[in-house]
């Protein structure tokens, strides 16, 4: 008698499991993409608070995001997945008033692995440099713009 109960239970369990798997459509899977197996995408945001236009060109090893001009109080942002090896790196070349510089705006070891900004990395470009903020809105990184060529003589 106990074997029959175990067999019936196993059949019901298997039927329920198959029914659940069949109902898990692609749409359902996409709605629940933020899970242990698929963490949320990371978003990087760059806000320009300088009165002058800021030109940026951001890229990673795999993705070239192109050149963008960010006006006063405008923002450029993008989302991406962290790679399996946790070596994701995005860097941007910046040009403000003829001064050019390049900085790492997302470095997996610094930002994701150290939990500085796993889901949202915020940067603010000001007249004196680029300020990086954690997800808790704490300024913890500062890159100053290099001196323009004509100011080196002073």
Is 68 in the same domain as 136?
Answer: yes
For residue 27, name the pLDDT band (cuts at 50, 70, 90): very low
Is residue 21 included in any domain, yes or no?
yes
DSSP 14: H
**For residue 62, with 0-12 CB atoms within 10 Å meaning exposed, 13-18 middle and 19 or more buried, which class applies?**
exposed
The whole domain housing 102 covers 42-146
What pLDDT score was predicted for residue 3? 76
For residue 10, name the pLDDT band (cuts at 50, 70, 90): low
pLDDT for 51-93, tens place per residue? 999 999 999 999 999 999 999 999 999 999 999 999 999 999 9
What pLDDT score was predicted for residue 153? 41
Note the pTM of the prediction, 2 decimals. 0.73
Strand, coil or helix: 109: helix
Is 70 in the same domain as 24?
Answer: no
* Res. 132: pLDDT tops 80: yes
Task: Write phi, then psi, for 111 (nearest 5 degrees).
Answer: -100, -50
Is residue 92 included in any domain, yes or no?
yes
The shares of helix, strand and coil residues in the chain, as percent rounded to the nearest 5, are 25, 40, 35
């Amino acid at each position: 008698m106990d074997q029959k109960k175990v067999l019936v239970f196993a059949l019901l369990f298997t039927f329920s499991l198959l029914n659940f798997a069949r109902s898990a459509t692609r749409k359902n899977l996409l709605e629940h993409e933020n899970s242990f197996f698929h963490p949320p995408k990371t978003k990087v945001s760059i806000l320009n608070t300088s009165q002058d236009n800021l030109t940026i060109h951001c890229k990673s090893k795999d993705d070239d995001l192109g050149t963008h001009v960010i006006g006063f109080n405008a923002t450029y942002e993008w989302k991406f997945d962290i790679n399996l090896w946790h070596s994701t790196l995005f860097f941007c070349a910046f040009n403000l008033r003829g001064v050019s510089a390049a900085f790492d705006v997302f470095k997996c070891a610094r930002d994701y692995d150290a939990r500085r900004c796993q889901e949202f990395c915020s940067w603010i470009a000001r007249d004196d440099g680029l300020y990086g903020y954690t997800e808790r809105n704490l300024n913890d990184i500062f890159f100053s713009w290099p001196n323009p060529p004509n100011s080196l003589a002073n």
